[in-house]
Homo-oligomer: A and B are copies of this chain.
Amino acid sequence: MLSFASDYIEGAHPAVLEELMKTNLDPQPGYGEDEYCRSAAEKIRRACGAPRADVFFVSGGTQTNRLVLSAILSTCEGVLSPVTGHVNGHEGGAIESTGHKVLALPHRDGKLDAETVRAYLADFYADKDGCRHMVQPGALYLTHPTEYGTLYTKDELTALRQVADDYSLLVFLDGARLGYALATPGTDVTLGDIAQLTDCFYIGGTKVGALLGEAVVFPRGNAPKHFFTHIKQQGALLAKGRVLGIQFDALFTDGLYQKIAENAVRQADRVRAALDELGIPLAVPSPTNQLFPILSNDEAAALSREVVYTFWEKADEGHSVIRLCTSWATSDEKTDALIEVLRRILGGR
C-alpha cells in the first residue's frame, strides 16, 4: 500500500547510510569527541554563517526540546508556545516533567504572532504584584515549519525577536523539519537568518534523511553552563556519538540536506496541484512537505483503503482533515501513483 503517513517511514538517505558503512571500523573516541562530529559541527557553523556556534548532536526532537528548554529556563520560568506547539500537546508532558510550564498562546496556522505575544506580556507585567505569583515568561518556542507545515517570514521572525528582546526572553526554534522550510520556493528565511534571530535552534535530521539525529545550535557560542553534562544527565548522550556525526557530516556535504528536502517539497507541490485541480480545500495553506486536505468522511474512508495517511482532526461532523506527507524518499512514481488514486476517488466531487 502507498504510504504518505509521515516523513519518517523509511530509513536514511542512501548517501548517509553509505557513509556509516564506510567509516564503520574506524576507531573513534566516544561521546561526540570523534572527528566526524567535529567535522559535521564545522560544516554546520559554515552553513549557518556562525563561526562561534556551539553545536551538539542528539537523537530526537522531543529529547532536544526538553534538553534545551530545561537548560535555558531558570527556575520558575515557563516557555511561551502556540497552543498547537509540539511541546504543548504531543510530548507526553516532557517540558513539565523538567519542572517548567508551557504557557500556551493562540496561534495562526500554527504560528505565534508578535502582537499576540506582546499583548500577553504587557498584560502579564501590568499586574506588578500578581505576576510574581505566576509562572515567569522565560523563552519563546517556535517551530519552523510549524506543526501545520506553515512558514514564518523573515519579517515575522524579526518582529518576534524584537518582542523577545523587549521582555528579555530567549528564542528557541524547533527545526525538526527545518530542511523542508529552507527548500521551499519563495521563503525568505535562510539558515543564516535563523542563526541570527534565535538563541538556540535545531536542524532536524530524523525527518530529513537521517536514521536519527538532530543538530542543536547555539549560534553565538552561548550554550548554557554545563550543557555537555546536561546532555548526559538527560540520557541524551550517545556512547557512539559518531553515529550522529557521520550522518550530519554526510547531510552537510555538497548541499545534500537542501537537495533531498527540495525533492520532498517538489513532490508535495505536485500533490497540491492535483488536489487543487480536484477542488479539494486545504485546512491550512502549507507550502512545505505536509498537506492537510479536507475530505468528506466517506472520501477519507475510501482513500484509507489505498493510501496510508494520518488522520489529523475532525473538520465538522461530516468532514475530516487528513495529513499527506512527502519526504526525501518520495519518488516521482510514488507521487504519480498517489495522484492517480486521488483523482479516482475524489474526482467525482
Contacts and interface: CB of A to CB of B under 8 A. Distances in A.
B92 A134 contact: yes
A232 interface: yes
Contact of A233 (B60, B89, B97, B230): B97
A243 B60 CA distance: 13
A242 interface: yes
Interface string A41-68: 0000000000000000001111111110
A224 B136 CA distance: 14
A134 B99 CA distance: 17
Interface in A262-302: none
A153 interface: no
A229 B90 contact: no
A305 interface: no
Contact of A20 (B17, B92, B102, B129): B17
The DSSP consensus for interface residues of chain A is loop
B30 A211 contact: no
Contacts of A99: 93, 96-99
Contacts of A348: none
B136 A206 contact: no
B226 A74 contact: yes
A252 B243 CA distance: 21
Contact of A206 (B17, B230, B240): B240
A243 B20 CA distance: 13
A276 B211 CA distance: 44
Contacts of A74: 224-226
A93 B134 CA distance: 7
B230 A92 contact: yes
Given A24-B17, A233-B93, A235-B234, A132 B75 contact: no
Interface residues of A, number: 83
Contact of A132 (B29, B67, B96, B229): B229
B100 A136 contact: no
B237 A62 contact: yes
Given A134-B92, A212-B243, A230 B76 contact: yes
A306 to B, nearest CB: 14
Contacts of A232: 62, 91-92, 94, 132-133
A77 interface: yes
A16 to B, nearest CB: 10
Contacts of A98: 99
30 contacts: A5-B29, A6-B30, A6-B239, A9-B27, A10-B26, A10-B28, A11-B20, A11-B26, A11-B243, A17-B21, A25-B329, A71-B75, A75-B226, A76-B97, A76-B226, A76-B229, A78-B93, A91-B133, A92-B133, A92-B135, A92-B232, A93-B99, A93-B100, A94-B232, A96-B135, A97-B233, A98-B99, A132-B229, A206-B240, A207-B239
The 5 A-B residue pairs with the shortest CB-CB distance in the complex, in nearest-first order: A63-B235, A11-B24, A92-B233, A92-B232, A93-B135
Given A11-B25, A92-B230, 9 more contacts: A6-B30, A12-B24, A62-B233, A76-B229, A93-B101, A94-B234, A97-B234, A127-B311, A206-B240
